[in-house]
Amino acid sequence: MRGSRPASAAGGPVCDRCAVETTAHLAALDRAGRAFPAMAEAAGWRAEVPSCPGWRLDDLTRHLGNVHAGPNGSCASG
């Protein structure tokens, strides 16, 4: 049911939009977000992204920022 906050097996709230344990999800986004800039600097912002034909790393960076901004904010704010 939308708006409810069931507890996960770990005891944390579950985001009703994304059906994942909120604390674990935000922690994973935080870890990935912190690791991404160093990886991007090492690869070069104009490096091609093999799994996304026609995209460069700066394209992927913009995409990831837009994709995660909505769910991250929604889960964090309840």
Express each pLDDT in 29-68 by its tens digit. 889 889 988 988 899 989 999 999 999 999 998 988 887 6
In this prediction the pTM is 0.51
DSSP string covering the chain, please?
-TT---B-TTSSBB-TTT-SBHHHHHHHHHHHHHHHHHHHHHH-TT-B-TTSTT-BHHHHHHHHHHHHHHHHHHHHH-
Ordered by start, the domain boundaries in the chain are: 34-77
Q: Which residue has the higher pLDDT, 40 or 3?
A: 40
The confidence band for 76, taking pLDDT boundaries of 50, 70 and 90, is: low
